[in-house]
Structure 1
Amino acid sequence: MQDQIIIPACFSSGEKLMDDSAGVTRSGQSVFMSTYRTKIADQCRLITITWCKNLLLHGLSVSVEGPEGESQYTCKVELKPWYFWRKQGSKRFVVEGKLVDIYWDLKAAKFNGETEPGSDYYVAVVCDEEVVLLIGDLKKDAYRKTRCRPALIDPILVSRKEHIFGKKKFFTRMKFHEKSRLHEISIECKCRSNNISVNGNAPNGIDPEMEIKIDGHLVIHVKHLQWKFRGNESINVNKVKLEVYWDVHDWLFSPGLRHALFIFKPTYLSSTPSLVSATSSSPLFVSSLESTPLSSQTGSSFSLEGLNGSRSSDFCLFLYAWKVD
């Protein structure tokens, strides 16, 4: 057993962190959550890896889903800015009678100014002498440290949730499936001057619009954003159909620091040309947004399957873009 790790109060775990928008706003912290589904303690459960960073804190949290679906079992690690902090260690807890060990090695982790490391690290979850979840590139070091074999069932990445801050541009990266390369996604909110008066369609003669680019290519261009602040489009990128949903209502109509929500949902296509194209918005989803804003549909259980005939993947990216004036 390791010594108790002291975590600042602002670093909470699991969905509580994601739902507490006030806490994220106050601390201005970037949050990256990756949720995996795998077999642990004889049941299929969700494991959530959370990286959190603000001016005062850099932390890691690993939580395992409890019997009622809540994140009941949690391991927290504070990445301290000074030299003598525990860059390598382990922690143990019990999940319904089964021992679960969390191992981490961040001694040489390269963050490059980001919230989560890009290389030279590992975080491993072990149960029944199997590594049920392993993230990072130091896989050999992880198996050597844990002295455990890989699990027979590979974990599935279910969702990824990110809180990011910016003024006009927002950037993130995502894989459309486990073996694909990382794709660069950029979102930009623009305001164009026009001749419409204050009593016209755009206030103060400003006509907001939004551009979404993937790998530098413009894939979605929304004009007259004040009327199209919620919607969705389907695009094809490298034989993958990508459903993109947005809700930027609070950017336009709510005072103070507010976030927009973007959802990226890949689906597999059997045969599609390897180029980018766009299709029209889905009336089914647009009508549902009128009664239920995207900003209230933040859980990984939010199902996007059934909106099209293609076979859906398990992965979904939720991007919370906080606009700083």
Structure 2
Amino acid sequence: MREFPSCFGESGVQVADSSGGGATGKHGQNLVTCVYRTPPAGRRRRPCSITVAWSKTMTGRSFSLQIEDTAAGDCLWKIDIKPWLFSGKKGSKSTAAEDGKIELFWDLSAAKFAGGGPEPLSGFYLAVVFDAEMALLLGDRNKEAYRRTGGATPTSGAAACVWKKEHLFGKRVFSTAARFSAAGQPHEIAIECDAAAAQPPVGGPSLEIRIDRRRAVEVKRLAWKFRGNQTILVDGVPVEVFWDVHRWLFGGGAPANAVFMFQSSTAGAAEKPSPLPEKKPRAAAFSLVLHAWRTE
């Protein structure tokens, strides 16, 4: 995960870019990647990591799924599904694993997408079953998913999303939504920046990040503070916000992307947010990485 903070300095934190970001911006591919940590399920006595990547290109939407053994680091299953390239938008796949059978079920026939993005928001389900026990369930059609899969409710608790990466496209405002804790509600995130001037005068481009339409972060004199970090509170949980807008300001004529990361802490609400950069990042409960591509 190359997008995590890589260099801590006196004036802020540099957020590294991913090597595949440029191709995404040039070809207009919209990609959302989520990583879920699952507790032991079925006959498995070890937790797993499930990565679900939703993508949208000019040819249509698709998704891929990869399951890894968290302790051993072994890939248990990797599969690409392209339901929009044929008539059926629901189906199932299965594979044999050492600890039992792994099954994937999905129904996207009535899925709804916000703003034409790649990730479905409602009217769908995607289910992963480990040895007849539900390991991961996404979507809002839970009853139908349990009825079709026959999977039992997990005895060790539900899977939790621990990492999400999303590519956003816009001219000045970039919007998305995220849930910063398992018990919290989804929050609207809006990033606004007028980065037209490469060498702005005093009072030039500034950066504003809003959570549920309320200003959470404001950065003035952005040309001098194009990389930095600040801690805010969301649902009583500390969330550290990192930004790197160097390419927006000084990237030249090529498609330019800025990188933002929202990292919720495992620390309790009693901890007061610090306005100064941390020497070490907190243990993260959830990390959201946004690649914001500026379009002309």
Whether the TM-score (by the shorter chain) exceeds 0.5 is: yes
Structure 1 CA distance for aligned equivalents of residues 37 and 196 of structure 2: 44
Aligned CA-pair RMSD: 2.7
Q: 1:280 aligns with which of 253, 275, 278?
A: 275
Structure 1, residues 194-234: CA drift from partner, whole Å, max 9, x if none? xxxx9xxx357882211111111111111111111111001
Structure 1, residues 219-272: CA drift from partner, whole Å, max 9, x if none? 111111111111100112342222101111122222311221111112353458
Structure 1 CA distance for aligned equivalents of residues 46 and 236 of structure 2: 34
Confirm or deny: 8 A CA contact 1:52 1:59 kept in the other structure.
yes
Structure 1, residues 279-301: CA drift from partner, whole Å, max 9, x if none? 5231536xxxxxxxxxxxxxxxx
* SS of 2:279 mapped into structure 1: helix
Residue 54 of structure 1: aligned partner: 57
> Which of 91-100 and 151-160 deviates more?
91-100
Question: Which segments of 5 or more consecutive residues in structure 2 lack a partner in the other structure?
Answer: 1-17
Q: How much does 1:44 deviate?
A: 1.7
Residue 3 of structure 2: aligned partner: none
* SS of 2:123 mapped into structure 1: coil
Relative to structure 1, the CA distance from residue 98 to residue 192 in structure 2 (aligned partners, 3 Å threshold; closer, same or farther) is closer
Relative to structure 1, the CA distance from residue 75 to residue 220 in structure 2 (aligned partners, 3 Å threshold; closer, same or farther) is same
What is the letter of the counterpart of residue 269 of structure 1?
G
Residue 259 of structure 1: aligned partner: 257
Q: How much does 1:174 deviate?
A: 0.9
Residue 25 of structure 1: aligned partner: 25
Q: 2:179 aligns with which of 164, 175, 179?
A: 175
2:240 equivalent to 1:243: yes
Confirm or deny: 8 A CA contact 1:66 1:73 kept in the other structure.
no
* Mapping for residues 156-195 of structure 1, pairs under 5 Å: 156-191=160-195
Confirm or deny: 8 A CA contact 1:191 1:206 kept in the other structure.
no
Aligned length: 271
* SS of 2:204 mapped into structure 1: strand
Q: How much does 1:73 deviate?
A: 1.9
Q: TM-score, normalised by structure 1?
A: 0.75
Q: How much does 1:47 deviate?
A: 0.1
Relative to structure 1, the CA distance from residue 319 to residue 146 in structure 2 (aligned partners, 3 Å threshold; closer, same or farther) is same
* Mapping for residues 1-325 of structure 1, pairs under 5 Å: 19-38=19-38, 39=40, 41-65=44-68, 69=73, 73-80=77-84, 85-96=87-98, 98-112=100-114, 113-153=116-156, 154-191=158-195, 202-203=199-200, 207-255=204-252, 256-267=254-265, 268-271=267-270, 279-282=274-277, 284=279, 304-305=281-282, 312=283, 314-325=285-296
Question: Which segments of 5 or more consecutive residues in structure 1 lack a partner in the other structure?
Answer: 1-17, 286-303, 306-311
* SS of 1:89 mapped into structure 2: strand
Residue 7 of structure 2: aligned partner: none
Structure 1 CA distance for aligned equivalents of residues 113 and 104 of structure 2: 21
Q: How much does 1:46 deviate?
A: 0.7
Confirm or deny: 8 A CA contact 1:192 1:209 kept in the other structure.
no
Q: Which has the higher contact order (CA 8 A, sep 6+)?
A: 2
Structure 2 CA distance for aligned equivalents of residues 192 and 93 of structure 1: 51
* SS of 2:183 mapped into structure 1: coil
Q: TM-score, normalised by structure 2?
A: 0.82
Identity, % of aligned pairs? Answer: 35
Relative to structure 1, the CA distance from residue 95 to residue 25 in structure 2 (aligned partners, 3 Å threshold; closer, same or farther) is farther
Relative to structure 1, the CA distance from residue 119 to residue 230 in structure 2 (aligned partners, 3 Å threshold; closer, same or farther) is same
Structure 1, residues 169-203: CA drift from partner, whole Å, max 9, x if none? 1101111212222111111112598xxxx9xxx35
* SS of 2:47 mapped into structure 1: strand
